[in-house]
């Protein structure tokens, strides 16, 4: 499939652009995979129109591609505004790259406006639901026995404590190595830190709370040595039942199982990240601090959480103040 896409000039431009993103922009693996998929669909769409040169593409064709994304076809489901906008961002990047490399003289995507996404407030769950979830995951320190199921429960508790205690993305959490925690803790033994590698290869240090640190210590001392005995996980902090590095899908699966036991519905790893940010702001944290903890490159991204806290204020006022109730 990839070989077919790279046959024409436009396909080769796509391949060169993806190489550029991988080598010079240091995009995350998942982001690069999304660009590859989205631009593959774009090249196929233009090829069906008989367009094979970067310099032949018109603004109208880019706009019609965006319409096709939103409408879908027999091979593709219709895309929402956010997904279509992400694909258009990849297309824009490709055409800017083509102009810079001299393969085209104009950028036909520059004036195509992405669809407006509806305002969606991040979903946070209350603290009592968080505590039920963590309790259902497993013990914070010593497991009931050395049975594999109990050791995995110790790992599950450590992972969920880390996700909620640091606001990490699931990809960042499962990408951690043991030294990312132990070395950072040695650097700051009183507080404890975790070194995350976020989007674009950016590193950040995030404080590690006492509960998360205790859960991680229990997992590292009691569970990981046995689970990682096969050596397949290498330096990975979180390993699966076979000793290999825990994957994003594995993290989702274990959270879903724990949430079902706890009776907490509609939760994902990102829900814990949203809850981390919302609870910090509810507690009086400065938005710039929350921005740094989340690893957002712009405070604008973080500001959506302030809307959540305002909604919470309205809810509390409406249900608590005697002159607010009818």
Let me know if 222 is a catalytic residue.
Answer: no
CA distances from 218 to 67, 147, 155, 181, 228 (A): 53, 15, 9, 13, 15
Q: Which of 70, 195, 199, 211 is catalytic?
A: 199
Q: Which sign, positive or negative, has the C-alpha torsion 27, 162, 133, 278?
A: negative
> Phi and psi (nearest 5°) for 195?
-100, 115
> Phi and psi (nearest 5°) for 197?
-110, 105
Q: Which of 42, 164, 219, 305 is catalytic?
A: 305
Taking each helix axis as running N to C, give the angle between helix 127-137 and helix 148-166, from 0 to 180 degrees, rounded to the nearest 10. 150
Q: Which of 7, 25, 270, 288 is catalytic?
A: 270
Residue of 241, 220, 243 lying closest to 231 (CA atoms): 243
CA distances from 80 to 17, 84, 94, 312 (A): 25, 6, 21, 27
Within 21-120, residue ranges assigned H as helices are 29-48, 59-71, 81-100
Let me know if 35 is a catalytic residue.
Answer: no
Q: How far apart are CA 214 and CA 235, in angstroms?
A: 20
Q: Which of 169, 213, 224, 245 is catalytic?
A: 169
Secondary structure letter of residue 265 according to DSSP: -
Let me know if 270 is a catalytic residue.
Answer: yes
Q: Which of 222, 273, 274, 279 is catalytic?
A: 273
> Phi and psi (nearest 5°) for 206?
-120, 130
Q: How far apart are CA 64 and CA 73, in angstroms?
A: 13
Let me know if 169 is a catalytic residue.
Answer: yes
Let me know if 123 is a catalytic residue.
Answer: no
Let me know if 76 is a catalytic residue.
Answer: no
Q: Which sign, positive or negative, has the C-alpha torsion 273, 82, 300, 309?
A: negative
In a 3-state reduction of DSSP, which class is residue 85? helix
Q: Which of 20, 195, 214, 296 is catalytic?
A: 296
Residue whose pair of structure tokens reads 């279509």 in the numeric block: 84
Looking at the annotation, which residues are catalytic? 169, 199, 270, 273, 296, 305
């Amino acid at each position: 499939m990839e070989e077919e896409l790279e046959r024409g000039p436009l396909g080769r431009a796509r391949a060169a652009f993806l190489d550029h993103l991988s080598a010079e922009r240091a995009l995350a693996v998942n982001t690069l995979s999304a660009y590859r998929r989205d631009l593959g669909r774009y090249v196929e769409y233009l090829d069906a129109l008989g367009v094979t040169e970067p310099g032949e593409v018109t603004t109208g064709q880019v706009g019609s591609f965006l319409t096709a994304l939103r409408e879908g076809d027999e091979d593709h489901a219709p895309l929402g505004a956010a997904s279509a906008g992400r694909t258009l961002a990849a297309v824009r990047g490709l055409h800017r790259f083509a102009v810079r490399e001299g393969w085209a003289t104009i950028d036909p995507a520059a004036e195509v406006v992405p669809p407006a996404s509806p305002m969606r407030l991040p979903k946070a769950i209350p603290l009592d639901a968080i505590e039920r979830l963590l309790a259902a995951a497993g013990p914070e320190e010593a497991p009931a026995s050395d049975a594999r199921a109990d050791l995995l429960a110790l790992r599950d508790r450590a992972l969920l404590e880390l996700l909620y205690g640091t606001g990490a993305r699931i990809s960042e959490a499962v990408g951690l190595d043991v030294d990312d925690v132990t070395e950072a803790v040695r650097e700051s033994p009183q507080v404890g830190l975790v070194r995350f590698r976020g989007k674009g290869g950016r590193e950040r240090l995030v404080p590690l709370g006492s509960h998360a640190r205790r859960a991680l210590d229990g997992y590292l001392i009691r569970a990981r040595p046995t689970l990682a005995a096969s050596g397949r996980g290498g330096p990975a902090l979180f390993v699966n039942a076979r000793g290999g590095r825990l994957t994003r899908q594995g993290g989702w699966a274990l959270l879903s199982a724990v949430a079902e036991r706890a009776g907490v519905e509609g939760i994902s790893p990102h829900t814990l990240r949203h809850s981390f940010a919302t609870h910090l702001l509810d507690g009086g944290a400065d938005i710039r601090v929350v921005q740094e903890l989340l690893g957002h490159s712009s405070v604008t991204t973080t500001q959506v959480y302030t809307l959540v806290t305002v909604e919470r204020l309205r809810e509390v006022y409406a249900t608590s103040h005697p002159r607010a109730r009818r």
